[in-house]
Structure 1
Amino acid sequence: MGKVLVLNASYEPLNITSWRRAVVLLLKGKAEQVEHNGKYLYAEFPLPTVIRLRYYVRVPYKEIPLTRRNILHRDSHSCQYCGYTGDDLTLDHVIPRSRGGGDSWENIVTACVRCNVRKGNRTPKEANMILDYPPRQPYSSLYFEVSKYLKTGLHDEWQKYVIGSS
């Protein structure tokens, strides 16, 4: 049956939950249905894909961990120098560690083996290589998570609530 996007009262993405939990929130009157995909739980009860809470919930900022998987996701599993999207991807430090570059969202990008070797122990400018996008830390952990679901194509109705994310 799938996952359901939970929106705050302000229509900001808040959480991803199971369809069962979403139905409970609807039945208790704590949420309202915003989108459904045409499937029905009962004859007159469409299965929700997006719900909105009737009250505003304050959400504390949550740091996104700097992991290989998250960097690959941020960079759309493609080389940031040539656009290659195969299996042979590595992580490249824009400013090499040996030259003072650290491990941070702003200094690590996805690169294919060929581009990583070509760049070597130089900066992209010194190697005459241009980054497709300057690396940055994703804005919100929830937008980051939701965008992973959007890339599968199974939750297209979520798109309008997550525009401009990650």
Structure 2
Amino acid sequence: MTALLERCPALVLNADFRPLSYYPLSLWPWQETVKAVLSDRVNIVAEYDNQVHSPSFTMALPSVISLKEYIKPAERPAFTRFNVFLRDKLTCQYCGDPFFAQDLTFDHVVPRTYGGRTTWENVVASCSPCNLHKGGRTPKEANMPLLRTPRQPTNWELQENGRSFPPNFLHESWNDFLYWDAELDS
């Protein structure tokens, strides 16, 4: 039974019914979802067919919930390794090949030994072979031009990029709230 429940995460929407995040998709495990419902912090928007029981209580597991209080997105995205990968669309900025996040590294365009800093404008996603080949040189010295000049993205750009990478599991009740480049029914 527990294994079945583990496959019942809830899609978490902000109070405006937009996902808190697309990539990674804003999901809560069933236990956290039930606690949030019982503490009246969320609205249930859709439910699974599965239920949880206690001696005096039965509840259908929520598949989509919305927060009762709106969470304002940060003005600027956090500078994290994953957000660099997302900005660069999980693509090596030297060879142009796509990768899974766990197979990417990040590279300082101007090497730290040359005074390069760890900032949005100086760090790009790179595959290991390209990173090793470039080494402690600039892209020009290594004859490895960048696909795009690195810059700080907006939150909107990261969300849009995240929509390009739907997760392996999408419950049918989530379709009305997620907009991966799918053709709309006419």
Alignment pair present for 1:64 and 2:78? yes
Equivalent residue number for residue 18 of structure 2: 12
Is the CA contact 2:108–2:122 (under 8 Å) kept in the aligned structure 1? yes
Deviation at 1:34, TM superposition (A): 2.4
Runs of 4+ in 1 over 4 A off after TM superposition: 27-30, 57-63, 69-78, 86-89, 136-140, 161-164
Deviation at 1:154, TM superposition (A): 2.2
TM-score (norm 2): 0.55
Cα distance in structure 2, aligned partners of 1:56 and 1:89: 34
Partner SS state of residue 13, structure 1: coil
Alignment pair present for 1:115 and 2:130? yes
Alignment pair present for 1:127 and 2:143? yes
Residues 138 and 23 (structure 1), Cα distance of their counterparts in 2 relative to 1, 3 Å cut: farther
Q: Deviations over 1:102-125 (max 9, x none)?
A: 112332122234323444512359
Is the CA contact 1:94–1:124 (under 8 Å) kept in the aligned structure 2? no
Q: Equivalences for 1:17-166 in 2 at 5 Å? A: 17-27=28-38, 30-36=41-47, 38-41=48-51, 46-57=60-71, 64=78, 66-67=80-81, 71-72=84-85, 75=88, 78-82=91-95, 83=97, 85=99, 89-120=104-135, 121-123=137-139, 127=143, 129-131=145-147, 133-137=148-152, 139=154, 152-155=167-170, 157=174, 160-161=177-178
Cα distance in structure 2, aligned partners of 1:8 and 1:72: 24
Residue type of the alignment partner of 1:127:
N
RMSD value over aligned CA atoms? 4.4
- Structure 2: gaps (5+ residues): 21-25, 53-57, 182-186
Q: Deviations over 1:113-150 (max 9, x none)?
A: 4323444512359835232x55455655xx88xx5xx7
Residues 66 and 158 (structure 1), Cα distance of their counterparts in 2 relative to 1, 3 Å cut: farther
Cα distance in structure 2, aligned partners of 1:105 and 1:10: 29
TM-score (norm 1): 0.59
Higher mean displacement: 83-92 or 105-114: 83-92
Cα distance in structure 2, aligned partners of 1:128 and 1:59: 36
Cα distance in structure 2, aligned partners of 1:136 and 1:102: 13
Deviation at 1:78, TM superposition (A): 4.2
Residue type of the alignment partner of 2:33:
A
Identity of aligned residues (%): 31
Cα distance in structure 1, aligned partners of 2:138 and 2:71: 47
Number of residue-to-residue matches in the alignment: 156
Cα distance in structure 2, aligned partners of 1:50 and 1:63: 25
Deviation at 1:16, TM superposition (A): 4.1
Cα distance in structure 2, aligned partners of 1:89 and 1:103: 16
